Amino acid sequence: MAFTIPVRALVAFVCAYPLLDWISYTHPMAHFNITPWNPQPALAIALLMTYGQRWLPAVTLVIAITEQLIRDTATPWQIDITAALVLGLCYGAMAQALTQQFRISPRLDALRDVLRLIGIVILGSLLTGTLYVGTLVAGNAGPAVQFPEALLRFWIGDGVGMLVFLPMTLMLADDARRRQLAAMLFKPETLLQATFIVATLLFIFGQNLAEQVKFFYLLFLPLVWVSVRSGLLGSAVAALLIQTGIIIAVHITGQTPLSVFELQTFLIALTVMGLFLGVTVDEREQAELALRKSQKLAAAGQMAAALTHELSQPLTALANYARAGQLLVIADSPDRSQLEETMNKLVAESRRTADVVRRLRDFLQHGAMRMEQADLVALLENSVARLQDAAAAENTMLKCHVPAGPLPVTIDTLQIEIVLRNLLRNAIDAACDNPAEPREVHASIACDSAREVTVSIVDSGRGIQRGQSEQIFEPFETTKARGMGMGLAVSRAIIEAHRGRLWAEDGGKAGTLRFTLPIGDIDHE
């Protein structure tokens, strides 16, 4: 087995463990040295989970040294060593349970994992407390009568420490989560949320001692906000911030150890709620992402099927023309005009084939759509202008009604051009199908909402039969004499990839198709 020493992680652990212990060494309970928050065990567990149990002796050594350095060491050294051994073994067992028994992912992106993590922390800290306090009582370091209270305080202190620190530390060990954290910290909203948390803490600790606990529930508000917006990572960071704030406030306002324990009990409830809410938000987002991906895949599949069909036509013709050319060469007639004509047709068909392949490639590449800022008004005007000749040839008026000035949208210009061309061509054909005069096609843009813009193409055709407005989007569904009936299927796939909608108005006298595009930046994964 390859064996590398995680130098950076070890150095970080050796520095951070005593440092955290030192910072959090406040309001200790007499004789037992039990503090109301104990974040450092999370570091030990995270290290063992990430790098394996072979570091358990080293971790235990660090624990033992730290205890000697920081704690009030009136107790005999044998007891201190035994207590450090108990702590090391218990943290090792918890790490073992989390990685080997439950195989939770350090990314913590499933509710199941978070549930198990919380369960192990709560049971594990109870067990650790029982053994640790028991060791001290057995070694006469503390009075036996205080066993229940000491156990409760240990349980809460270790429990809250691990609940706040362990998810955070684990996520920091994961690359994707680290990137997510960096992105989150640079969002303006994060600053706002942090300000809200600090303000709430200031308000709570501005009250007199008796009132403080009463207002503690206010902290749920910013925590819910952060969890809903940023998921588990957000709630872990928020819980850490709240814990830090509480400790600072407790130092400044000079609380009794008892009231600090009360606050910490609240913090447990707060943190557990935040973790659950955060992971639920994460899971929902993952499900949404998976759904969107599968939709995109389905659209690409639909497109591929449609284009395969369209490829087989020119391929058939190509084979025939090529064979005909061969026969004409063999016949060796002095008149070369037919051979020449056949060869020209062959070239034309191969161009048609290449065109289909190009379209397929353009579409399949939409996983990496080339999103750019474009002016929808100019785009529509250009598309309409390009089809004026075709419309005039069919005696159709093609008119464009657009708002003045540019309308910036973030789109793949090429693909939206395809959609506009498809829809406008369809509309011209539909207008021609109707013998009624005058033949007209109207293209218009409406910005009736701040979030999206609607493009409408209305023709003077017979309209879409009631109940048919969905059917026309099926591939190969066509009412036209030409074309394969895939234009609308492809157009819808493109618009949906842009997070818009494309639909046909059901019934009605005129044919109406509309699509929406979101305004402003849209993030594409």
Question: What is the DSSP secondary-structure string of 154-179?
Answer: HHHHHHHHHHHHHHHHHHHTSHHHHH
For another protein, the closer CB: 65 or 390? 390
Question: What is the DSSP secondary-structure string of 346-410?
Answer: HHHHHHHHHHHHHHHHHHHGGGG---EEEEHHHHHHHHHHHHHHHHHHTTEEEEEE--SS--EEE
Least distance from another protein to the Cβ atom of residue 423, Å: 19
Does residue 288 contact residue 115 with C-beta atoms inside 8 Å?
Answer: no
* Token pair listed for 46: 């995270």
Least distance from another protein to the Cβ atom of residue 316, Å: 4
Contact residues for another protein (CB under 8 A)?
A: 305, 308-310, 312-321, 323-324, 327-328, 331, 342, 345, 348-349, 352, 476, 478-482
Identity at 194, one-letter amino acid code: A
Does residue 177 contact residue 183 with C-beta atoms inside 8 Å?
Answer: no
End-to-end CA distance of the chain: 37
For another protein, the closer CB: 134 or 485? 485
Least distance from another protein to the Cβ atom of residue 445, Å: 32
Least distance from another protein to the Cβ atom of residue 342, Å: 7
Listing from the earlier edge strand, what are the strands of the sheet with 511-518? 396-401, 439-446, 452-459, 511-518, 502-504
215 vs 92: CA distance, rounded Å: 38
Least distance from another protein to the Cβ atom of residue 323, Å: 5
Least distance from another protein to the Cβ atom of residue 359, Å: 16
Least distance from another protein to the Cβ atom of residue 309, Å: 5
Peptide bond into 222 cis (omega under 30): no
User: Residue with structure tokens 């009568």?
Assistant: 145
Identity at 85, one-letter amino acid code: L
For another protein, the closer CB: 73 or 312? 312
Least distance from another protein to the Cβ atom of residue 486, Å: 11
121 vs 376: CA distance, rounded Å: 55
The pairing of strands 408-411 and 372-375 is antiparallel
Question: What is the DSSP secondary-structure string of 451-494?
Answer: SEEEEEEEESS--BPTT-TTGGGSTT---SSSS-S-HHHHHHHH
Least distance from another protein to the Cβ atom of residue 434, Å: 16
Burial of 435 (0-12, 13-18, 19+ CB in 10 A): exposed
Q: If residue 197 lies in a helix (H) or strand (E), which one and from where to where? A: helix 188-206
- The SS3 of residue 446 is strand
- Give just the sign of the alpha carbon dihedral 165, 232, 113, 159: positive
For another protein, the closer CB: 303 or 318? 318
Does residue 300 contact residue 364 with C-beta atoms inside 8 Å?
Answer: yes
For another protein, the closer CB: 345 or 501? 345
Least distance from another protein to the Cβ atom of residue 338, Å: 8
Least distance from another protein to the Cβ atom of residue 459, Å: 18
For another protein, the closer CB: 282 or 349? 349
For another protein, the closer CB: 137 or 300? 300
For another protein, the closer CB: 312 or 471? 312
For another protein, the closer CB: 249 or 315? 315
For another protein, the closer CB: 323 or 386? 323
Residue 440's nearest CA partner among 481, 468, 382, 401 is 401
Least distance from another protein to the Cβ atom of residue 358, Å: 18
How many CB atoms are closer than 10 A to CB 223? 25
For another protein, the closer CB: 210 or 481? 481
For another protein, the closer CB: 162 or 360? 360
For another protein, the closer CB: 61 or 347? 347
* Token pair listed for 382: 């250009």
Least distance from another protein to the Cβ atom of residue 317, Å: 4
